[in-house]
Amino acid sequence: MTTTTILRQHLIDPEICIRCNTCEETCPVNAISHDSRNYVVNVEKCKFCYNCISPCPTGAIDNWRHVRAEEAYPLAEQLLWDTLPAQAVLDESPKVGAGDTAASLPDDVERIAAASTSGQGGVAPPPWSAAHPYVNLYSIQKPAVANVSGNFRLTAEDASSDIRHIVLDFGNASFPVLEGQTIGILPPGLDANGKPHHVRLYSVASPRDGERPRYNNLSLTVKRVTADHEGVPVSGVASNFLCDLKKGDKVNVVGPYGTSFLMPNHPGSNLLMICTGTGSAPMRAMTERRRRKSLPQEDGKVMLFFGARTPGELPYFGPLTRLPKEFIDINLAFSRVPDQARQYVQDLIRARGDDVAHLLRDENTYLYLCGLKGMETGVDEAFSDICGRHGLDWKSLRTELLQQGRYHVETY
């Protein structure tokens, strides 16, 4: 098989470009130019700084094609386009070149993303009907600055864990996000080696139109880290910084990130969601998106399995219990309630095996698993048992779901 260099070429969609000249004015290296017909990007000059992306009012600037290096679209050809060319099929084994999405992400983000998706064997494709995500608009060198507009404790005062609902307002800065995406937080100060702290990723807990609709804000679900996975006392740098924030404080934010863990947009799509703790953040975002759309005749089923130690330690317990049963099928598992048998999400999945199997047979069902990495094995075994009882093969079905962008895992 031939090895060649594949470029991710930045292009402008002539069909929706309104010729406002914002991109050309914003580009720091003069990679963008225009004539009376089209705005175009010079592949030899573009440095993928993304400065031009967020100011574009139509999104015409946010278009990319993977091309062989020797076949990159020249300016003369771009100037003649009425529409963007389709993505060509590339048979070669790609050698990553300039502008590759993964190569342009911060090392910390790549490392965290790889670890969180390892349970599914790497990043899966997004649902076919998912909205287009914007990524990497703000870098570590040029972060967005958000103002804290709210910080509320979600867990009971006597709970052993302190989980917060934090609302960040971006003012006039454009920071578009979709349900399932993450943002990076840059904690202030330096580490023990005198270097800036690494970026920490947090899933967005609000839908695409914001925590408060039509306001330029979003929310996070953050647990204060006071011990490591071995139980040794530690003080999590980013989590404690976030949990201690006061209204009006400023936060440096990078991203957004994530092109896979997205929700389907087509009518009749089902959501089967499994989470523990702060893994509820993307599930809340997706649920709120569905609730706000208020189109029951178009939406499919929503089924949630949510695990915590006790009701007092389950984020959003109150609001969840008030959601209409005809809108969402909620199954709560508690593992530390006095005088009650311990239950975990996999136990409830098995108990609802008939309904789960019905959803698994539906090609419009999308599965999402988010939370502690330790639950992956139990959930996988529960699906295998259910499939075995209903004439399905979980191993082959799981592979099919992954290939079709219908099974998504983010655990930590």
What is the reported pLDDT for 1?
41
Q: How far is CA 291 from CA 234, 270, 284, 319, in A?
A: 38, 14, 10, 12
CATH assignment, 144-257: 2.40.30.10
* Mean pLDDT computed over 358-367: 97
User: pLDDT digit string (tens) for 318-329?
Assistant: 888 889 998 999
Res. 172: pLDDT tops 50: yes
pLDDT-based confidence at residue 363 (cuts at 50, 70, 90) = very high
What is the reported pLDDT for 93?
40
What is the reported pLDDT for 69?
86
CB-side neighbour CA atoms (13 Å) of 8: 14
CA 328/CA 303 separation, integer angstroms = 6
What are the residues whose beta carbons fall under 8 Å from the beta carbon of 246, sequence distance 6 or more?
A: 148, 151
* Mean pLDDT computed over 262-276: 94
What is the reported pLDDT for 98?
43
CATH 3.40.1160.10 fits 3-103, yes or no: no
What is the reported pLDDT for 114?
61
User: pLDDT digit string (tens) for 239-256?
Assistant: 999 999 999 999 999 999
- Could you tell me which of 177, 217, 231, 233 has the C-alpha nearest to residue 201? 177
**Fold for the domain defined by 270-411:** Rossmann fold (3.40.50)
What is the reported pLDDT for 119?
60
Sequence ranges of the domains in the chain: 3-103, 144-257, 270-411
Cβ contact 64:102 at 8 Å: no
Res. 91: pLDDT tops 60: no
User: pLDDT digit string (tens) for 136-169?
Assistant: 889 888 999 999 999 999 999 988 889 999 999 9
What is the reported pLDDT for 318?
87
